[in-house]
Amino acid sequence: MPAAAYNKKLTLFVVKNRRLWKGVVRLKNKMDILFFNRQFESEPQIALIADEKPPARISHRVSSQQAALTWGISMYIIAGLGNPGNQYRNTRHNVGFAAVDYLADRYQIDIGEVKHKALSGKGRIGSDRVVLVKPMTFMNLSGEAIRQITDYYKIDVTEELIVIYDDIDLPPGQLRVRKKGSAGGHNGIKNIIAQLGTEEFKRIRIGVGEKPKGYDLADYVLGHFSKEESVLMEESCQRAAEAVCMIMEQDIDAAMNAYNKKV
């Protein structure tokens, strides 16, 4: 390995059992490199690629710190934002909760654990482990729960955190999948960015429509959907859940191409 690769975070691709596995490894010195080579000297199909986008599905991760390699199945934190309490069910601000509830029902994941200022549940979607999360902090303090749970599971928030929430700047039912970005005036996302210290995390915005002229913003987002709107939002939450699955099974670019279309 060239000296230029020292002290770099590299991407590792391993083809095993006809599947592509992905790892992330940081090699800091010659001893790390020697240890790394010993671990995989029997594997003929290995490529170390710096700053390279994974060419196929990510299913595994590997890290190297202090000359130790650890393999593990990927885990995603999928968080839907909203407000706790029955009075907020079926409101515009709670579409993130609704999308997570749809995922829980579809994949039979019990979101009953009360921990890290949130309701959460662990399960699998395909071959990936997931933790479904509904912060119980109320919307404006969502980041407190997200920070605690991402710290607890020690995930890479830029890769393994997906946040679903409402957006008044999108027409009702419209989805917008993004790799990163500002809060755009959304207080829940603003708090998550403040708590994590980064804007780089995946998110799926579900349009709930622009506030009518003369309406108070808080009254609008805490307002309930009509029967007709409820049908549309149920379909949107289902599509948001499908976008989550595509992000994990393929990548976020595929989800952006598939779901960032006008409905």
pLDDT over threshold 70, residue 112: yes
- Is residue 93 part of the annotated active site? The answer reads yes
pTM: 0.74
Say how far apart CA 82 and CA 141 lie, in whole Å: 10
The pLDDT score that the predictor gives to residue 216 is 92
Say how far apart CA 184 and CA 203 lie, in whole Å: 12
Of the listed 60, 93, 116, 186, which one is catalytic? 93
Mean pLDDT (the chain, rounded):
80
Q: Report the greatest alpha carbon distance in the chain.
A: 69
Name the token pair of 222: 């805490």
Element (H, E) at 205: strand 202-207
> Where does the pLDDT of residue 60 fall: very low under 50, low under 70, confident under 90, or very high at 90 and above?
very low
CATH architecture of the domain covering 75-259 = 3-Layer(aba) Sandwich (3.40)
pLDDT over threshold 50, residue 76: yes
Q: pLDDT tens digit string along 89-110?
A: 999 999 999 999 999 999 999 9
Q: For 210-232, what is the mean pLDDT?
A: 92
Domain residue spans of the chain: 3-73, 75-259
Q: CA 198, 183, 154, 106: dihedral to nearest 10 degrees?
A: -150
The pLDDT score that the predictor gives to residue 263 is 73
Say how far apart CA 196 and CA 182 lie, in whole Å: 13
**Better-predicted residue by pLDDT, 260 or 74:** 260
Q: For 244-257, what is the mean pLDDT?
A: 92
The pLDDT score that the predictor gives to residue 22 is 53
**Better-predicted residue by pLDDT, 80 or 49:** 80
DSSP character string of 29-73 = SHHHHHHHHHHTTT-SSEEEEET---SS---EEEEESSS-EEEEE
